[in-house]
Amino acid sequence: MNVVIKAQTTQLMHISKMFIAAILGIGASSQLVAQKGLPAKKIVTATVTTHYPQVQEFNPARLTQLKVPAGFKVSVAASGLGKPRMMWLAPDGSLYVTRRDQNDVLLLRDTDGDGKFDDLKPVINNFSGVHGIAVKGNYMYLCSNRDLKRYTMYADHSLGDTMVIFKDLPDGGQHGNRTMAFGPDGKLYLSVGSDCNDCGETNPEHATMLQINVDSMTRRIYARGLRNTIGFGWHPVTGQFWGFDNGSDMKGDNIPPEELNKIVDQGHYGWPLVYGKQVVDETREDPPSGTKAAFAKTTMGSIMEFPAHTAPIDMKFMS
């Protein structure tokens, strides 16, 4: 089923919302202004098509629907995993898989060498919302939206000796799934999505890439203005840091694009006022000082754009 919605972003529309919030109470009004900000000066009309796809259970025949480059082949390595999310492949071919909804981490092993995982067991249980996974040395790092933990990896592939590094990661609101990876500098990089679809953030760690020193258990904002960069990685030769950012919804079927960004220390990538190659978002208000156009010139433009709303979830470099 498809639904087409036409929406106008006007001063009257936003003022009406603030008036309603004011009737409900000062607290509601303050929250609304903090989230959306002041009305944009320009009236913008957008046509938005919403798709409601039906769930289709997996079967081997559906593999033919996946298109891959020449030389690649897709086959089933494991099935019946529920809702697997992120993975880490060990040097010996064992695969660790996080399952956010089941609150656990699975270990998959191919014991007979046929290319299919035939041995499956949980190695972590009762870690609510576990999602991100990364490994450095003999330690595995796992995170949920708020917690980052370190586990010792033993020779039998089990995990233990838990250490809590953080319990206060920003919750991320609408984007609560954390992804993370170790960079060439040995630091852990962790993506924090925006609190909402399109808002003025009140938590400076929302819509950012955090850099974490796991030894000193400290963190800082490495880059900002990234609405939800789930997939990221480093070029194996140049060491450059790249990531895919997911753009906002409800602005139109074809805007804003999904972005491939080269992520640099202290770079600002524009969200929520700017997208793509420094394109000003006309539905948003000007920043507290200056204009959106002036702010856009200070941001990092995307390197490549991809169709809006495709929501890339990961990326990998291959040599």
Is residue 112 in a domain? yes
- The predicted structure's pLDDT at residue 265: 98
- 191 and 307 part of one domain: yes
Q: Tell me if 179 is assigned to some domain.
A: yes
Average pLDDT over residues 31-52: 72
The whole-number pLDDT of residue 72 equals 92
Confidence class of residue 308 from pLDDT cuts 50, 70 and 90? very high
Are 218 and 310 members of one domain?
A: yes
CA nearest neighbour of 179 among 228, 223, 218: 228
Residues 211 and 156 in one domain: no
Residue 185 and residue 248 share a domain: yes
Strands 139-143 and 232-234, bridge-based pairing: unpaired
| Domain match, 198 and 108 both | no
**251 and 281 part of one domain:** yes
Last residue of one domain, picked from the residues 169, 188, 213: 169
> Is residue 22 a part of any domain in this protein?
no
Select from 118, 136, 169 the last residue of a domain.
169
265 belongs to a structural domain: yes
Residue 51 is assigned to a structural domain of this protein = no
Bridge partners of residue 280, in order along the sequence: 274
| Domain annotation covers residue 21 | no
**Short-list 261, 264, 272, 265, CA closest to 302:** 261
Question: Does some domain include residue 75?
Answer: no
**One domain for residues 165 and 306:** no
- Which two structure tokens, joined as six digits, stand for 301? 């433009």
In this structure, the answer to whether residues 180 and 121 fall within a common structural domain is no
31 pLDDT more than 80? no
Number of CB atoms found within 10 A of residue 99's CB:
20
Do 243 and 134 belong to one domain?
no
Q: What is the CATH number of the domain that holds 239?
A: 2.120.10.30
pLDDT tier, 228 (very low <50, low <70, confident <90, very high otherwise):
very high
CATH number at residue 135: 2.40.10
pLDDT (average), residues 65-94: 93
Q: What is the pLDDT of residues 208-226, one digit of tens each?
A: 999 999 999 999 999 999 9
147-188 per-position pLDDT tens digit: 999 999 999 999 999 999 999 999 878 898 999 999 999 999
* Torsion sign (Cα): 192, 193, 195, 200: positive
Domain count, the chain: 2
- What confidence tier does 276 reach under pLDDT thresholds 50, 70, 90? very high
| pLDDT tens digits for range 86-129 | 999 999 999 999 999 999 999 999 999 999 999 999 999 999 99
**Predicted pLDDT of residue 59:** 86
Domain identity same for 184 and 311: yes
Same domain, 120 and 137: yes
Q: Which of 169, 202, 218 is the last residue of a domain?
A: 169
Q: Would 69 be classed as within a structural domain?
A: no
What is the C-alpha R_g of the chain?
22
* Structural domain for 148, as ranges: 83-169
Report the pLDDT averaged over residues 220-248: 97
Cα–Cα distance, 211 to 209 (Å, whole number):
7
Q: 177 and 217 share a domain?
A: yes
pLDDT at residue 40 in the model: 78
Whether 83 has a pLDDT exceeding 50, the answer reads: yes
